[in-house]
Chains A and B, each alone.
Chain A
Amino acid sequence: MSTSAERSWTVRLRKRAVAALPPEKLLPDGQPTYVASWIYVFGVLSLSALAALIMTGSILALKGPSWWHFSSTGHFFNSLHLWSVELFFFFMVIHLWGKYWMAAWRGGRVRVWITGAVTFLVAVPCALTGYVSQQNFDSQWISTQAKDAMNSVGIGSFFNLMNFGQMYSYHVFLLPLAVTGLVIAHILLVRRHGVVPPFELEDRLKAARAGATDGASS
């Protein structure tokens, strides 16, 4: 590589990216044989629900926030969006339970856990901003109630649940961007580190240690 290429930010970034995630790691066509449980499908189901949310949300955004109150087609897409939210949290929490019981942070995968946990924590206010953007009684009640929690910690001063324009902006753009960014980071980290291997069984670990001790003493 020439000196100018060595100094090139583009080349350096490309080399780092390809080193971390070569194509066969980014889109592998094989998986470890221990990935053999239905619990493993809940990650991709969560991702699919997020895709459904973005798709239905985009259709709602095309016609604006009043459309779904006066159009049966609009109401249909609003219903799809609402059930996608329920499915997203449903699958994501089951995915989380599975990953906890697998201690999936082992082997250098702490950032995978962290990005996943933070995704959940950001998804909660993303849903809340959606509920207060509905422009119906639900929005009126939720905004006037939840404002007390926001105000008690001071953030109500600049995050006003009763300000529809602000909440709609957070819901349609800022928070989905944050959730999507976190999910992308989460998935890339999974691709980078691989799916966490199983715990080694205690009896095998004991036999290995006993064997090592025998070997050392013989």
Chain B
Amino acid sequence: MSAEQRRRDDEAAREWKGVYRHYDLVKEASIAFGVVLALALVLTILFSSPDEPPSTIRSWSRTNPVDFVTTAVTELDGSSVTATYGPPYNHASSGQHIAFIRLQKWFGTNIAINAAKDFVLAPLGSMPGTSSVRAAVATYQSASASQQAAWTTAYTNALDKATVSSADTVSIPAGNYGPVAPMMASLLTFAQTGGLDGALLTNKQFYQTDYTKPLMFMADGAVLSDRAAAEHLGGDQWGMMNETGAYPGQVWLWLYTFWYQIKPFSTSNNADILVMAVMGLMSTLFVLIPVLPGIRDIPRKIPIYKLIWRQHYESLGPPPTTVQSAIEPPMPPAAAAPG
């Protein structure tokens, strides 16, 4: 479509100078509201809504104590996902990037998490009446970095042969784990009483609404991901669109999750920033459709409009053969203009 044709089309579309008919806007809106409420009511009565209870550190440490201590020792030795994440939690890495654009790093570390201290050492220190635990922590903290690593590595390797007792305690073969084994055993007990859920939440002030620490800790283990995989909510399962149970999810996220399923996004360490960049670009283009050459002309070229406006086109009668009737299509009998 040429610029001149587009300008003419635009001028012609600016204001309707043709016939109006009577119409009750408020009545239509009221009927529509009633219809939507009725539909929502019917769907609610038929299907209700999902509400799967949250996992807690308490439930996690009781149902899978080996996974709990495995995760806890990775927090202690700095190898967990949180400990190695980078901004906004710490400086362990510089985070994701596209070429030189490192937004994750540039926005800084505003939600500071020291994994070893916040998830292990501080909670152990807060346990009342446990001088042996405090002594173990002191021993650990005063040891050299290489000694600490030797203990945590030995403990991690021993967990492959761990057994769980009927009391949900974890037993590992004898070995040189230094203070790490009693620290982990105490942390497990603390978690199983529910104390760790609270300790991670209320360490700044009485009133808290920020669940970052308990969530990050659980996300470092398998408790959330195991449940998610069972419900088909994983990132590689188009999970972003899905809901627990057999409910529809956030279907409108289909294009967003699509990119994560294909290369290069599915195998990239920078998948998130790449997908955000693509979706940011597509969203911008979506908003700007009216000015995008080609895209804005498709509705004219694929005439779905002929179906939408067929009553109007039928009312115009046959195409004109004279100048006069080309300019003024026959007026169907109807009401006056509004006012």
Q: Mark A121-142, 1 if CB is under 8 A from B, else 0.
A: 1001001100100111111110
Q: Mark B23-36, 1 if CB is under 8 A from A, else 0.
A: 11110110011011
Residues of B within 8 A of A28 (CB): 23, 25, 338
Contacting pair B96 A152 (CB below 8 A):
yes
Residues of B within 8 A of A106 (CB): 9-10, 13
B172, CB-defined interface residue at 8 Å: no
B22, CB-defined interface residue at 8 Å: yes
- The distance in angstroms between the C-alpha atoms of A69 and B337, with both chains bound, is 54
A181, CB-defined interface residue at 8 Å: no
Chain A interface, >50% SS class: helix
Which of A86, A144, A151 sits near B215, CB closer than 8 Å?
A144
Segment touching A, from B51-59, B61-69, B119-127, B152-160: B51-59
State whether A208 and B23 are in contact (beta carbons under 8 Å apart), knowing that A36-B312, A84-B36, A106-B9 are contacts in the complex: no
Contacting pair B23 A31 (CB below 8 A):
yes
B39–chain A nearest beta-carbon distance, Å: 6
Q: Mark B297-326, 1 if CB is under 8 A from A, else 0.
A: 001101011001101110110011111001
**19 A-B pairs whose Cβ atoms sit less than 8 Å apart in the complex:** A28-B25, A30-B336, A37-B311, A48-B33, A68-B51, A78-B49, A83-B47, A100-B289, A107-B13, A107-B14, A144-B224, A145-B228, A152-B273, A153-B103, A154-B106, A157-B107, A166-B210, A208-B327, A215-B323
A6, CB-defined interface residue at 8 Å: no
State whether A103 and B299 are in contact (beta carbons under 8 Å apart), knowing that A30-B337, A48-B29, A158-B110 are contacts in the complex: yes
B94–chain A nearest beta-carbon distance, Å: 12
Interface size for chain A: under 10, 10 to 19, 20 to 34, or 35 or more residues? 35 or more
CB-based nearest B residue for A137: B52
Residues of A within 8 A of B250 (CB): 127-128, 131
- The distance in angstroms between the C-alpha atoms of A89 and B250, with both chains bound, is 9
A9, CB-defined interface residue at 8 Å: no
Contacting pair A144 B219 (CB below 8 A):
yes
A160–chain B nearest beta-carbon distance, Å: 6
- The distance in angstroms between the C-alpha atoms of A118 and B290, with both chains bound, is 14
12 extra A-B contacts, CB within 8 A, seeds A31-B338, A198-B308: A27-B26, A29-B338, A30-B336, A36-B311, A36-B312, A45-B32, A117-B287, A121-B287, A156-B107, A198-B312, A199-B9, A207-B320
Q: Mark B263-277, 1 if CB is under 8 A from A, else 0.
A: 000000010110110
B92, CB-defined interface residue at 8 Å: no
Residues of A within 8 A of B9 (CB): 106, 199-200
Which of B15, B276, B308 sits near A152, CB closer than 8 Å?
B276
Contacting pair B308 A98 (CB below 8 A):
yes
CB-based nearest A residue for B110: A157
Which of A39, A103, A155 sits near B300, CB closer than 8 Å?
A103
Q: Mark B66-79, 1 if CB is under 8 A from A, else 0.
A: 00000000000000
B186–chain A nearest beta-carbon distance, Å: 26
A-B contact count (CB 8 A): 310
- Give the residues from 46 to 63 in chain A that come closer than 8 angstroms, CB to CB, to chain B: 47-49, 51-52, 56
Contacting pair B50 A138 (CB below 8 A):
yes
Contacting pair B35 A48 (CB below 8 A):
yes
B100, CB-defined interface residue at 8 Å: no
- The distance in angstroms between the C-alpha atoms of A85 and B288, with both chains bound, is 26
B139, CB-defined interface residue at 8 Å: no
A5, CB-defined interface residue at 8 Å: no
B282–chain A nearest beta-carbon distance, Å: 10
B43, CB-defined interface residue at 8 Å: yes
A173–chain B nearest beta-carbon distance, Å: 15
The 5 closest A-B pairs by CB, nearest first: A165-B209, A30-B338, A107-B13, A154-B107, A211-B323
B189, CB-defined interface residue at 8 Å: no
B18, CB-defined interface residue at 8 Å: yes
B108, CB-defined interface residue at 8 Å: yes
Q: Mark B88-108, 1 if CB is under 8 A from A, else 0.
A: 100000011000000110111
- The distance in angstroms between the C-alpha atoms of A155 and B87, with both chains bound, is 11
Residues of A within 8 A of B299 (CB): 100-103, 199
B244, CB-defined interface residue at 8 Å: yes
Residues of A within 8 A of B11 (CB): 107
State whether A163 and B211 are in contact (beta carbons under 8 Å apart), knowing that A27-B25, A140-B224, A144-B224 are contacts in the complex: yes
Contacting pair A141 B224 (CB below 8 A):
yes
B206, CB-defined interface residue at 8 Å: no
B48, CB-defined interface residue at 8 Å: yes
